[in-house]
Amino acid sequence: MVNNLVNNRPLVLIRGAGEQASGVGWAFSKAGFRVLMTEVSKPLMVRWPVCFGTAVEEGQWQVEGIKACCVSSTGSECEDAWLEGKIPVLVDPELRRLSELMPLILVDAIMAKQNLGTKRTMAPLTIGLGPGFKAGEDVDIVIETNRGHNLGRIIYQGPAQPNTGVPGEIKGISRERVIYSTTAGIFRAKRAIGDQVSAGDCVGEIVEENRTTQVVSLIDGVLRGLLRTNITIPANVKIGDVDPRGEESFCWTISEKARAIGSAVLLSVMESGFLAAPSQT
């Protein structure tokens, strides 16, 4: 069983280790909490440079000064990671190790737009990000994730705004900035994150048997996100993200959305009176 009070710091379990989840994990780690994140064995992360889940493929990863490492078990592996100031990432999407972990706080940050099995009884304090959760029923707290005026709003009763199915606007551009797969197959990247692209530029291709489908950017901007190459994907999944602001540095740092959500989750824990802020050692 994991010692969930190593150095008197509470354990926060975060389901998911993608972009928004990483904003949450980064905030809790900076605040001195012990963080453990869970992921699938083959994560599809478009903005993988700023995702702790990249540690699943790489073994180790770092996001804005916070390191993560992939672990195969709970217990000493996790404690060693925490003592080194790292976030352990465990492949356990179905939370089979939950009874061993016994977190004090559980955050569902999968961003699936639906609840994939998180229950209010899984931890003393449970938090869900975005659509699919109802505060006071399946979780204690819901955090609004929709871009706009209410982004990061802490909800103690009821649901977040429903899924619009439309990406939030950046510089007045919404749906066109996100690239989706039109077919299933093996994705092969032809450009790299950080590249400046123009509308019509090929950023990758999807190979299915003897058929190759080009993936193109719909707008001008910087390629802020792109799936890793030679990965098998289904149809209708996010492949890339073109930022019309064109600022390359945004590719390598936590987004304003992930930062706002992470801060809101941390504030919700403090505001709930569930525990006092842990002291850093």
So what's the pLDDT on residue 281?
42
Same domain, 212 and 115: no
On the question of pLDDT at 265 being above 70, the answer is yes
Asked whether residue 97 is domain-assigned, the answer is yes
Domain residues for the domain of 80 are 6-164+256-271
pLDDT, averaged across the chain:
93
**Least confident span in 73-77, 173-177, 189-193, 277-281:** 277-281
Position 170 in a domain? no
Query: For residue 276, is it within any domain?
Result: no
Work out how many domains the chain is built from and give that number.
2
Q: Does residue 188 share a domain with residue 261?
A: no
The alpha-helical segments, DSSP class H, found in 158-239 are: none
CATH of the domain at 66: 3.40.50
What would the pLDDT profile of 224-248 be if each residue is shown by its tens digit? 999 999 999 999 999 999 999 999 9
- Please tell me whether residues 44 and 151 are part of one structural domain: yes
Structural domain contains residue 278: no
- Please indicate, yes or no, whether residues 144 and 188 belong to a single structural domain of this protein: no
pLDDT per residue over 78-128, tens digit each? 999 999 999 999 999 999 999 999 999 999 999 999 999 999 999 999 999
pLDDT band at 1 (very low <50, low <70, confident <90, very high): low
Q: Are 2 and 94 in contact (CB under 8 A)?
A: no
